[in-house]
């Protein structure tokens, strides 16, 4: 996390299902967020009444965050709503302040990852991390002994609905008891340096699911799932060079997906293949 004079710059993962990494510029009055580093959604805190997003403020003046425009480098601040219920003067001032912060800091992406605590579903046999359920920015989040939340596959993984449902069933069958555990991943290492305050912590899988499975068919399905999500997974900041290189060679086969999110990659290993994929994506987009 990067603390600036009047804002905080950080990134967080969207998991269960995994859809990528979000970049955030946060202030006391709102935030700007982006899933590609180009187009940013502006959100402003308000304590107004019911607004056009059907979001009522809480009792006692509790503030809620509402979408209040968009920003990118070419168009600047745009899409400001004309809602008479909102305090437009104040909210527009905060939106312009966020736009100024974006002009100053957006080129510095990817921002440091903040959600280093991870909630893992554990396998029944050895109680080892099996599937990533959630992440948290809080230190030492409360640890449930059992999770009622099921692991969900990303619909955009290009494997087809039958394969994705089969993968979800395989995870559910191997973790039928629902045991789960919060673990902290250090920024430097992807699997071996895991800190926990009260007991020995197991090694964490580098991606979203454990790679070792009792049957080869499920193991292959897990590998294909990670392969399909490679363009988005490359935005993870804890990957080793070996894992990153493997994912890059998968991602270049999906050049248009890579082109959409490559700005979020902390580093690139296979520069020649990467550049060729970007050229291909631009040619395909016309």
Map out the domains of the chain as residue ranges.
2-108, 117-286
Residue 2's H or E segment, with its range, is: strand 2-3
Q: Scanning the structure block, which residue is given the tokens 């609905």?
A: 161
Which class for 226: exposed (0-12), middle (13-18), buried (19 or more C-beta within 10 A)?
Answer: buried
Tokens representing 221? Answer: 């399905």
pLDDT band, residue 63 (cuts 50/70/90): confident
β-pair partners for 78 = 70
pLDDT of residue 1: 61
Quote the mean pLDDT of the chain: 88
pLDDT of residue 139: 82
pLDDT of residue 54: 37
Measuring CA to CA, which residue among 203, 133, 218 is closest to residue 173?
A: 218
Which class for 89: exposed (0-12), middle (13-18), buried (19 or more C-beta within 10 A)?
Answer: exposed
* Cα→Cα distances 182→91, 128, 202, Å: 37, 12, 11
Which of 110-114, 122-126, 192-196 comes out lowest in average pLDDT?
192-196
Residue 208 exposure: Cα atoms within 13 Å on the Cβ side: 32
SS3 210: coil
pLDDT of residue 155: 86
Per residue in 88-109, pLDDT (tens digit) is 888 899 999 999 999 999 999 9
Give dist(CA 109, CA 166) in Å, integer: 36
Is the pLDDT score of 250 beyond 80? yes
The residue ranking higher by pLDDT, 213 or 48, is 213
186: left (phi over 0), alpha (psi -120 to 50) or beta: beta
Highest averaged pLDDT of the listed ranges 1-15, 46-60, 235-249? 235-249
Per residue in 139-152, pLDDT (tens digit) is 878 766 778 889 99
Q: pLDDT > 70: what percent of the chain?
A: 85
SS3 234: coil
Is the pLDDT score of 44 beyond 90? yes
Measuring CA to CA, which residue among 74, 37, 14 is closest to residue 261?
A: 37
Is the pLDDT score of 154 beyond 90? yes
Phi and psi torsions of 231, nearest 5° = -60, -40
Is the pLDDT score of 280 beyond 90? yes
Is the pLDDT score of 58 beyond 60? no
pLDDT of residue 71: 98
Annotate 165-192 with DSSP letters as a single string: HHHHHHHHHHTTT-BEEEEEE-TT-SSS
To 10 degrees, the CA torsion angle through 49, 50, 52, 54?
150
Is the pLDDT score of 52 beyond 50? no
Please answer whether residues 40 and 72 qualify as being in contact, where contact means their C-beta atoms are separated by less than 8 angstroms: yes
221-249 mean pLDDT: 97
State the sign of the Cα–Cα–Cα–Cα dihedral 278, 16, 153, 209.
positive
Q: Scanning the structure block, which residue is given the tokens 């993962």?
A: 13
């Amino acid at each position: 996390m990067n603390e600036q004079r009047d804002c905080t710059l950080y990134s967080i993962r969207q998991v269960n299902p995994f859809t990528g990494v979000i970049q955030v510029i946060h202030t006391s009055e709102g935030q700007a967020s982006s899933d590609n580093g180009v187009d940013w959604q502006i959100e402003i805190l308000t304590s107004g009444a019911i607004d056009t997003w059907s979001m009522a403020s809480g009792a006692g003046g509790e503030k809620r965050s509402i979408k209040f425009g968009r920003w990118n480098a070419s168009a600047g601040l745009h899409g400001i709503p004309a809602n008479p219920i909102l305090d437009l003067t104040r909210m527009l001032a905060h939106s312009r302040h966020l736009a100024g912060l974006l002009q100053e800091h957006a080129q510095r992406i990817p921002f440091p990852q903040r959600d280093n605590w991870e909630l893992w579903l554990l396998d029944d046999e050895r109680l080892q991390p099996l599937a990533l359920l959630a992440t948290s920015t809080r230190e030492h989040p409360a640890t449930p002994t059992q999770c009622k939340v099921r692991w969900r596959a990303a619909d955009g993984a290009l494997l087809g609905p039958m394969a994705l449902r089969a993968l979800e069933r395989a995870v559910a069958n191997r973790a039928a008891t629902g045991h789960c555990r919060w673990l902290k991943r250090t920024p430097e290492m992807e699997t071996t340096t895991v800190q926990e305050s009260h007991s020995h912590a197991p090694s964490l899988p580098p991606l979203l699911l454990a790679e070792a499975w009792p049957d080869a068919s499920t193991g292959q399905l897990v590998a294909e799932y990670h392969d399909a999500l490679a363009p988005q997974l490359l935005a993870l900041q804890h990957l080793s060079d070996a894992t990153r290189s493997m994912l890059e060679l998968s991602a270049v086969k999906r050049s248009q997906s890579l082109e959409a999110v490559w700005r979020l990659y902390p580093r690139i290993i296979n520069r020649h293949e990467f550049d060729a994929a970007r050229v291909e994506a631009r040619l395909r987009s016309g």
